[in-house]
Structure 1
Amino acid sequence: MAKKEVTVEEKLRALFDLQLIDSRVDEIKNVRGELPLEVEDLEDEVAGLNTRMEKLNDDLSQIDDNIKGKKILIEEAKTLIKKYNDQQKNVRNNREFNSLSKEVEFQELEIQLAEKHIKEFKAQIEQKKEVISETKEKLTERQTHLKHKKSELDDILKETEKEEQALIAKSEEFEKQIEERLVNAYKRIRGSVKNGLAVVPIERGASGGSYFTIPPQVQMEIAARKKIITDEHSGRILVDPNLANEEREKMAKIFSKI
């Protein structure tokens, strides 16, 4: 049995139906708007703040270790001072006494330097704690904001996901009814126009969404539905208003069941 040939009118109807389905999917995506990107940006920001918190806490830990190291150095220096002072009591000459005095002086300088470093480290700790407090506050605020935005997105997804999936399946189903060459042309036009409208009806003598008037002769050819005609300005595929209205009514019934 020979395969029934698809008429140009049937092709135009199928293309306009496909456009109506894809436009409905676009509407659903527009409802979500920038939310998915906002959520992604917030997740990145929260992750960055968590990393910063970890780095700041590691810095604090390192400074604590540095202070401990300086305190050990001070205790060692004090032990050496005591040792040198005890040795000075048993020296045999001034040269040995002076040598030990220099050692004591050196250890005293080591203690002063270590105490200076400890003071600097403690100042760094206060500074770090201040930054940690600010970062923690910002992190809490961003986490709360993220939770709110995620909840908002989840609510929209719950409302629209089922319909979107059904429409995408319907779009694929309708694509199979149209020859590949036309589907590719449709997708190419859809990708090149801002609102994603590749198939539009004539409205008030012009291409839908356009201000360029279509000559009466071309309008008659479009209404005859004998060949696929594109708008010379936008490249969109054109259909007559009657066909568009009939297909809108038909697809509205399909949409109401999804």
Structure 2
Amino acid sequence: MANIKELSVEDKLRALYDLQLIDSRIDEIRNVRGELPLEVEDLEDEVAGLSTRLEKLKSDLESIEEQIKDKKNAIDDHKAAIKKYTEQQKNVRNNREFNSLTKEVEFQELEIQLAEKHIKEMKASIDHKKEVIAQSSERFEAKSSHLGHKKSELDAIMSETQKEESFLSEKSSEYEALIEERLLAAYKRIRTSVRNGLAVVSIERGASAGSFFTIPPQTQMEIASRKKIITDEHSGRILVDSVLADEEKEKMEQLFAKI
């Protein structure tokens, strides 16, 4: 194709409209995917968060179980101490020693009661955590399954459209290279400012495509002459005549058919 400097206004209009047709086709492909990629990403984050929470809950459970073991071992130590002090009471020489050992026994018994109280509380905590783990595991499995389905759905769409999108993206870059920087910047600015991404539209029934505002006959003649770039005063879109549009659509359909 000709270099940018050699392009006539008509060639620029054709290149712009071709670029619009290619970019609109890419938009269609991405619309098919819709919010699915974001949905998959959100689900992945949610599943990762649930997995981390489950790991922490299980770690907490193990920690409590270890604490219960420690308390039980402590109870055994206290019972051994009670036995030792009780034996020692049999060989005391006076009431002071007997009373001192009695206080030691009482202290050990209090420690046992406290440990048993803590064990009871920790067992209740274990029961609660097991319930939470069961609920979290169920939610994790459900979300993981849902994620698997959504990933399969996305993979299926991607496998169907990836080749076409890659081809069209390359073609979009090729046509962008034909258009002077200022005009390309205007095209991209218009595309981002309109809802449907249409920066270049044809004249249909005396109005720009998708608009109800009639274009004056004199302006329509200027557009058809293809001597200068004309924009719609209402929408800001670049305008091309319907004959040029039909010719380029036919050309692009042949290109798309090769994919």
Calculate the TM-score normalised by the size of structure 2.
0.95
C-alpha distance after superposition, 1:116-165 (max 9, x if no partner): 11111111111111111111111111111111111111111111100110
- Name the counterpart of 1:28: 29
- Name the counterpart of 1:187: 188
- Name the counterpart of 2:9: 8
Structure 2 SS opposite 1:238: strand
- Structure 2: give runs of 5+ residues left out of the alignment: none
Q: How far is 1:3 from its partner? A: 9.1
Name which of structure 1's ranges 118-127 and 173-182 shifts more when overlaid on structure 2: 173-182
Whether the 8 Å CA contact 2:86–2:105 is kept in 1: the answer is yes
| 2:65 is the alignment partner of 1:49 | no
Structure 1 SS opposite 2:255: helix
Aligned equivalents of 2:54, 2:67: Cα separation in 1: 20
Aligned equivalents of 2:37, 2:211: Cα separation in 1: 31
Q: How far is 1:4 from its partner? A: 7.2
| 2:214 is the alignment partner of 1:206 | no
| 2:92 is the alignment partner of 1:97 | no
Q: How far is 1:45 from its partner? A: 0.8
Q: Alignment length, in residue pairs?
A: 257
- Name the counterpart of 1:135: 136
Structure 2 SS opposite 1:209: coil
Q: Which amino acid aligns with 2:191?
A: R
- Name the counterpart of 2:64: 63
Q: Which amino acid aligns with 2:48?
A: A
Q: Which amino acid aligns with 2:66?
A: D
Q: Which amino acid aligns with 2:256?
A: F
- Name the counterpart of 1:219: 220
- Runs of 4+ aligned structure 1 residues displaced above 6 Å come to none
C-alpha distance after superposition, 1:89-120 (max 9, x if no partner): 11122122111111111110100110111111
- Name the counterpart of 2:164: 163
RMSD: 1.4
Aligned equivalents of 2:204, 2:124: Cα separation in 1: 74
Whether the 8 Å CA contact 2:4–2:178 is kept in 1: the answer is no
- Name the counterpart of 2:76: 75
- Name the counterpart of 1:85: 86
Q: How far is 1:216 from its partner? A: 2.3
C-alpha distance after superposition, 1:18-48 (max 9, x if no partner): 0000000000001111111111111111111
- Name the counterpart of 1:123: 124
C-alpha distance after superposition, 1:192-215 (max 9, x if no partner): 211111111122222222232222
Structure 2 SS opposite 1:191: helix
Aligned equivalents of 1:170, 1:62: Cα separation in 2: 60
Which structure 2 residues correspond to residues 108-119 of structure 1 after superposition, within 5 A? 108-119=109-120
Calculate the TM-score normalised by the size of structure 1.
0.96
Aligned equivalents of 1:101, 1:59: Cα separation in 2: 39
- Name the counterpart of 1:237: 238
Q: Cα 1:3–1:99, aligned 2, differ >3 Å: closer, same or farther? A: closer
C-alpha distance after superposition, 1:146-186 (max 9, x if no partner): 11111111111111100110011111111112112211111
Whether the 8 Å CA contact 2:4–2:180 is kept in 1: the answer is no
C-alpha distance after superposition, 1:201-248 (max 9, x if no partner): 122222222232222222221111111011122211111111111111
Whether the 8 Å CA contact 2:199–2:238 is kept in 1: the answer is yes
Whether the 8 Å CA contact 2:78–2:109 is kept in 1: the answer is yes
- Structure 1: give runs of 5+ residues left out of the alignment: none
Q: How far is 1:57 from its partner? A: 0.6
Whether the 8 Å CA contact 2:33–2:154 is kept in 1: the answer is yes
Q: Which amino acid aligns with 1:249?
A: E
Structure 1 SS opposite 2:178: coil
